[in-house]
Amino acid sequence: MSKRALITGITGQDGSYLAELLLAKGYEVHGLVRRVAAEDPDQRYSRIVHILPRIQIQAGSLECQPSVFNVVEKVRPDECYHLAAQSSVGYGAQDEFQTWNVNVSGTHYLLAALRQLAPRCKMFFAASSEIFGAGDGSPRTETSPFQPRSLYGISKLAGFELARHYREKHGLFAATGILFNHESPRRGMEFVTRKITRAVAAILAGRAETIDLWNVSAARDWGAAPDFVEGMWLMLQAEEPEDYVLATGTARTVAQFAEAAFSSAGLDWTRFVASGAAASATGSGEPAMTGDPSRALQKLNWRSRTSFDNLVRQMVEADLQLSGLDPAQVMARASA
């Protein structure tokens, strides 16, 4: 008998890759989506349209306790992957009440519903490296101090503590992944990595001349989303629920990302980055924060397998295709 999984945030980057992974493993996959998404599938389901016939969509709202309970009661999942969140740090500051309702109350409702209606379900909670706060140059582990500096980070820390509470107090199999930045061709348009790869395509298509980048010296630990969702799945296959950092362990600057993206298409990035920001591909700024994934490697045999250059190349190729260009031709000219 196949396992039944419930994914919140199935229409997002991580949710779509996770759904593909679970389907490939023979799972029955259910996705919790907001009713507004269910009413506008062409726009909201763009990342999962190719698998819609193979999954079951459950309309509901994480901001409504009865709605969450109704979905859990209907699905009775064996595994629950809680990925849905208001995930923009900037937006979290603009609408702090919705951020709290979705990221904290929604997580609480889901944990309570699983405890009451599906107590044997294994639950994964997606936390964020934002719970650590600012970087100081040292890699972050599962035992590093939490010092969030944004409402988003605070909300994710609250979710982390709720999951731990339900694990320790109520015996729920609740495991948290502390996720560092992870990208893909399905990354949201509002993130800097996707802005860069879209700019490469727009410039080659003749629809743009430059891109403005605010701080090219900012550094992030960037991994690949498909690798990270495999880590999520592995966490729920373990005998005991534990928390893990998922990261690559290497930080790169926005300038390095731009350099890799433009060079993959045969362009010199310094010619196209506006505002005089293209002075250096290494830059300097506040200390970078990286994650230490050694515990996940040791206990789950998980590592981020996609190289940085391959990740960037995949994103550029996807945006070239979306712009009506032939990625193979562009890349062939770039390597000639």
- The pLDDT-based confidence of 135 (bands split at 50, 70, 90) is confident
- Lowest mean pLDDT: which of 71-80, 135-144, 168-177, 298-307? 135-144
Query: Are 202 and 169 part of one and the same domain?
Result: no
Residue of 16, 105, 128, 304 marked active site = 128
188 has pLDDT over 60: yes
Whether 293 is in a domain gets the answer no
| Confidence (pLDDT) at 38 | 52
Whether 319 is in a domain gets the answer yes
Query: Are 75 and 160 part of one and the same domain?
Result: yes
Number of structural domains, the chain? 2
- The pLDDT-based confidence of 143 (bands split at 50, 70, 90) is very high
- Decide: helix, strand or coil at residue 183: strand
- Count the Cβ atoms, other than its own, within 10 Å of residue 240: 8
Q: What is the pLDDT of residues 109-122, one digit of tens each?
A: 999 999 999 999 99
- Decide: helix, strand or coil at residue 187: coil
Whether 233 is in a domain gets the answer no
Q: What is the pLDDT of residues 273-332, one digit of tens each?
A: 986 544 444 444 567 899 999 999 999 999 999 999 999 999 999 999 999 999 999 888
Query: Are 149 and 166 part of one and the same domain?
Result: yes
Last residue of a domain, one of 151, 179, 207: 179
From residue 24, alpha-carbon distances to 268, 269, 292, 304 in Å are: 40, 39, 29, 20
Query: Are 163 and 23 part of one and the same domain?
Result: yes
Query: Are 277 and 197 part of one and the same domain?
Result: yes
| Confidence (pLDDT) at 281 | 46
Residue of 17, 81, 109, 152 marked active site = 152
Q: Which has more pLDDT, 217 or 88?
A: 217
| Confidence (pLDDT) at 335 | 80
- The pLDDT-based confidence of 43 (bands split at 50, 70, 90) is confident
Residue of 20, 28, 130, 230 marked active site = 130
Q: Which two tokens stand for residue 315?
A: 């994103």
Nearest to 211 by CA among 266, 139, 152, 261: 261
94 has pLDDT over 80: no
Residue 127 sits in a domain of what CATH number? 3.40.50.720
Query: Are 124 and 207 part of one and the same domain?
Result: no
Q: What is the pLDDT of residues 14-40, one digit of tens each?
A: 999 999 999 999 999 999 998 765 555
Whether 227 is in a domain gets the answer no
Query: Are 36 and 117 part of one and the same domain?
Result: yes
- Decide: helix, strand or coil at residue 145: coil
CA dihedral (16, 17, 19, 24) positive or negative: positive
| 128 is annotated as an active-site residue | yes
Q: Please compute the mean of the pLDDT values over residues 171-192 and round it to a whole number.
A: 97
- The pLDDT-based confidence of 128 (bands split at 50, 70, 90) is very high
| 294 is annotated as an active-site residue | no
pLDDT > 70 fraction of the chain, expressed in percent and rounded: 92
Query: Are 153 and 203 part of one and the same domain?
Result: no
What whole-number distance in Å separates Cα of residue 34 and Cα of residue 63?
10
* Mean per-residue pLDDT of the chain: 93
3-state secondary structure 248-309: CCCCEEHHHHHHHHHHHCCCCHHHCEECCCCCCCCCCCCCCCCECCHHHHHHHCCCCCCCHH
Query: Are 131 and 205 part of one and the same domain?
Result: no
Q: Which two tokens stand for residue 175?
A: 């495991």
90 has pLDDT over 80: no
- The pLDDT-based confidence of 91 (bands split at 50, 70, 90) is low
Q: Which domain holds residue 86?
A: 4-179
Whether 11 is in a domain gets the answer yes
| Confidence (pLDDT) at 248 | 98
- The pLDDT-based confidence of 88 (bands split at 50, 70, 90) is low
| 46 is annotated as an active-site residue | no
